[in-house]
Structure 1
Amino acid sequence: MVLLISTTAFSSPAFALSTQEKGVTVDLLNQDPDPVKPGDILEVRISIQNMGYEANDNCIVKIEPKYPFKALPGEELSKNIGTLGKRSTDDREKVVKFKVGVENDINKGKYPLKVLFYSNEGKDKVSLTKDLMIAVDSESNAEIESISLERLVPGEKTNLTFGIKNVGNSPLKNAMFSWDCANDVILPVGSSNVKHINLIDVGETANVTFEVLTNVNTVPGLYKLDMTLTYDDVEALKTITEAGTLDNEKRKQIKSKAGVYIGGTTDFDISYMERSLTGSYTFSVSNIGNNAANSVKVSIPQQANWTIANGGSNSVVLGNLQKGDYTIADFNLKPAAYGKELPLKFEISYTSSDGQRQNEKQELSLYTTESPTNENSGSEESSTASFSYKLVLIVVLGIAGVLVYRKVSKKRKMNE
């Protein structure tokens, strides 16, 4: 196909006719890829052929990329192909290659890439322009890329965020995202379960957040979330409507599902109850959360203000505690000082309702008395026992000494 178009470089129709007689053609040999997708790099191979009877010297081929095409760094937009021989010679045809980028927000269709050809030397100058039609294929697609959490605590407000990613080759417009949980186990608070998104560009992720709540008495377990995403899929489907306008928007829907676990961890409260005469401290341990706790163990880690006394244990196994239950734990403790309020650290380990072993740390302040009754009485009893033992020993030794002395004296007198 020969396309010869005169430009403003010619001052008269006669010269334009002379240009046509030169017989120079510009054609698109191929494009790679074909079709090209938004965001890709396009390579075009252009054929320049002289069907005329005169050679053209110092020939230039140039492209002028405009939207949706763009120039790439380091890539030439103009190339000198030298002499284009006349139709009877072997050098009457030249092939040039150019690379350009394609914008991300382009829809499916065919778009013009402008090519200029001109020759600056010779007795007759040649110049022409042609639009090469480039095929662009645009495919829209999206996915629910992420959910912000895997576990919800019954009765506790939580922000639930969904990440919606555009994994296609065209923008997603007028998107609407919604979710639903069977039997309304999980419900949005303060808003509906639907969010609108105006635009998600190619490769971008849009986050939508809902504040949700579950019933405090919800049975722990895995619950299903049904998610729906609808958006405008802009295609090259161009249908003339009755009004004579172009309708090229098509609604697309994506459905998916995910699991969210309800249950898990719980909370504890520790309070001081009493101290016995033997130095044993008694504490109350309560499950104040909304989930049961199994295999509960309370420990007192090594710390500066308290030590375990009388060879006692630093941990107590309490067994299972349902929500709202409490039990007691005893520890033999000795404070580092008396008459002061000292912090006492605890560690609580338990198995949550989802089967995971959990650890929780707590701290309690205790005021220590200056003269513990059991320690003073014990000391006094020990001192009294020691004194009595020594006194009896002295008396026994004294009596034994007197008896020995008498026996020795009597034997001496008999010998005399």
Structure 2
Amino acid sequence: MKKLVVLVLFIMATSLVSAAVSSEYYGESPKIIVSLANQDPDPVEPGKIVEVSFKMDNQGTLANNVVFDIEPEYPFSLLPGEAKTKILGTLGTSQNGERTVFVKYKLKVDQNAVDGSHEIKVRYKTENFDLWNMLEDLIIKVQSKDAILSVEKYTTTPEVVAPGSKAKLMIGLRNHASSILKDVKITLDLGKSGDEQTPFAPVGSTNEKVISVVDAQGYIPLEFSLMADPDAKSKVYKVPLKMQYSDIINKNYSKTLIIAVVVGAEPDISVYIDSTKVYTAGKTGEVTVKIVNKGLTDVKFLNVNLDKADGYKVLSPYEVYLGNIDSDDYETADFKLGIDKTSKGKTILPLTIEYKDANNADYKKKVNLELPIYTSSEAKRLGLVEGNGKIKWIIVVIVIVGGFFGYRMWRKKHRK
């Protein structure tokens, strides 16, 4: 019985010693919590310097010879002269009020860093602990100042849209940010632009395109099908293009740009002789040339020049300025000509016509007009000229004189 009591007392004593040892080595100890207290600026732009402050809070027992170390990886690097490892000494407890310390570093962000949240690795150790405590999931935010989405280029096919015709408008978007852009909405404002109404309507789709994501530095082509109004005037139309999108940190952007769409058509000019007062060789008369604008667009600054050639002489100015001719309208130019006596059958009148369309594109047209030349007998037979006028007057005079003398003789006879 005594032996049993002694054995029980021995076991109890051993347990108390073991508990004391466990308490000394595995019970109370330093309990350090590390967090990223601040980054300045927040967020930091690529290529800039950021100051980060780490907070070390000891919620356990006294920590001696505390050492803090940073392990920067891309896109971060330490500034020259900045110590990687910092010896902090003793970190107190809650009882003495010296349990918190801040550790600061200045880091350079790479110029090509992608926008977003980047992890920074740090570690620490204390006295009596040879192993480092590695800390992860500490985040530094990198963000370009503005996430820029731009129109890199745009084209219309055809380049000049004829009234009443279809065209394809291609718009190329470029994401200049180093992170994705999302919820991109592109809208063509086909209503009123300034003081004028844009003469376009979407065909086959709406005037709005939506893109869920545009990759960093990515390029996205968009295509709109448009139709110009049949009565659209030839000119340059300004079309507002509205862009709305968000960046990776959900910052919203909205801006309106202006693109230009040209409406116009190649002028359709007809030139012919409207009338003439010269029909036979050796005669002089006026020739009227008519210029008709049969096209959809107006023409401006129209000038007509009658070039020199054999068979005639120009007795008036060679050049006639007519100015503007509206669509479905005409103007005339008059030239006084002397037809050579040797001309037979026809005389060619070479004309050079220069003008601009409504969008100031230059045009030059050369035409050869045929002026018919008749013989005297042909002209009389066709009723283009009258017969010999002298004979007609002689007959008239003879009739008058004969009548006069006949009347006198009649009076004398009756007086007797």
Normalized against structure 1, the TM-score is what?
Answer: 0.50
The structure number with the bigger radius of gyration is: 2
- What is the TM-score normalised by the length of structure 2? 0.50
